Structure 1
Amino acid sequence: MAFGTIGARLYAWFNRHPEANRAVVDVAALRPGDHVLEVGCGPGVGLELAARAVGADHAAAVDPSETFVAMARKRVPGADVRVAGAEDVPFDDGMFTAIFTLASMHHWADRDGGLAALTAKLTPGGRLVLGERLLDRAGHGITPAQIDEVTARLTALGQTGLRTERRRVGRRTLAVIVSERPTAP
């Protein structure tokens, strides 16, 4: 889903949740030396947190909205921020030690394609961290049944160490799915 200029600015204003971004970045366990990609970066709140941990020159992001990309570039000068979706991330395979998303997977037109593309971008041992609001029924977030579908797909893609953490953020609960690319085939 791509946001126009006005829609992106309104979304950024009404959906500012730095505590949710902190929770996902915390689960990603970023450390110096990591090369990090945020998918669906929006205005760049999570990207900024990641850049603080690893340096802007080791941080990258994608978003299908040109307005969000411009906002993220302004927020985190030095980060490599590009217009793209999860299914067509314009970076080399095996490039990132950590990839994270927050509240973007439910927007992907092709979730399976996005998951396959992102796992390919991980280095061996790299971490994929997918954060979504936990819901009782399908909507702007993820249900327990959808978590099962995502973890099954990640398993089929060869990801290991799968786990789902739940984090309370205000009145909401985040479901954060974590997996790793195997270090050896």
Structure 2
Amino acid sequence: MTGFGAVGARLYAWFNRHPEANRAVVDVAALRPGDHVLEVGCGPGVGLELAARVVGAERAAAVDPSETFVAMARKRVPGADVRVAGAEDVPFDHATFTAIYTLASMHHWSDRDAGLARLIAVLAPGGRLVLGERLLDKPGHGITPVQIDEVTARLAALGQTGVRTVERRVGRRTLAVIVSERPFQA
């Protein structure tokens, strides 16, 4: 996925400020002190800030394909490791993170299967992968029940365990959060 331009990123950040959705995904991720956390598609850094409050900025990282969003997130959470990248090319070592989460990002990925495989590669054994999207009736900026089935089947095929979907009401919308764990032994 290509990143938003400077103007597009700032407009997107202004019109899509959903701290309650970020809180819901971070809550489902069950972050705790000691976790090493990655947010994929961090946007302006709202979720990253919430995660850093739990684990500390030095244990929080994020990626976004937009240089503007990366700059905004770095400013919002000094000390976090925030880089320009998409899900398919996350620039971190294998088995680095104990928790990885996304919010309203997966539907932008140019290659969902490659993105999921890459995230699982950087997820530590026993780590949690949490994918949050707005639940939709038809394809668009979110995820449909059919797409949830496709993602959960792909996660299972990639060896993830405990694959499940949690729904959370956020305002007038429903957030579908797909959760899975990387097993300690493959």
Distance in 2 separating the partners of 1:95 and 1:103: 23
Distance in 1 separating the partners of 2:172 and 2:24: 14
Give SS of 1:53's match. Answer: helix
CA shift for structure 1 position 92: 0.3
The one-letter code matched in structure 2 to 1:89 is: V
4+ runs deviating over 2 angstroms:
none
| Equivalent position of 2:59 in the other structure | 58
Distance in 2 separating the partners of 1:18 and 1:179: 23
The one-letter code matched in structure 2 to 1:159 is: Q
CA shift for structure 1 position 42: 0.1
Give SS of 1:21's match. Answer: helix
The one-letter code matched in structure 2 to 1:8 is: A
The one-letter code matched in structure 1 to 2:122 is: K
| Equivalent position of 1:164 in the other structure | 165
Summarize deviations over 1:68-127 as a string: whole Å, max 9, x none.
Answer: 000000000000000000000000010000000000000000000000000011111000
Give SS of 1:142's match. Answer: coil
Give SS of 1:77's match. Answer: coil
Counting aligned pairs with the same residue, the percent is 86
Distance in 1 separating the partners of 2:68 and 2:6: 5
Distance in 1 separating the partners of 2:36 and 2:162: 20
Query: Does 2:111 align with 1:128?
Result: no
| Equivalent position of 1:109 in the other structure | 110
Query: Does 2:76 align with 1:69?
Result: no
- Gaps (5+ residues) in structure 1? none
Once superposed, what is the RMSD of the aligned Cα atoms?
Answer: 0.4
Distance in 1 separating the partners of 2:139 and 2:146: 9
Distance in 1 separating the partners of 2:144 and 2:152: 12
The one-letter code matched in structure 2 to 1:174 is: L
| Equivalent position of 2:18 in the other structure | 17
Distance in 2 separating the partners of 1:15 and 1:122: 28
- Gaps (5+ residues) in structure 2? none
Query: Does 2:5 align with 1:4?
Result: yes
Distance in 2 separating the partners of 1:165 and 1:85: 25
CA shift for structure 1 position 184: 1.4
| Equivalent position of 1:148 in the other structure | 149
Query: Does 2:60 align with 1:35?
Result: no
Give SS of 1:32's match. Answer: coil
The one-letter code matched in structure 1 to 2:45 is: G
Distance in 1 separating the partners of 2:119 and 2:185: 18
Distance in 2 separating the partners of 1:117 and 1:52: 26
**TM-score (normalizing by structure 1):** 0.99
Distance in 1 separating the partners of 2:124 and 2:166: 22
Give SS of 2:31's match. Answer: coil
The one-letter code matched in structure 2 to 1:24 is: V
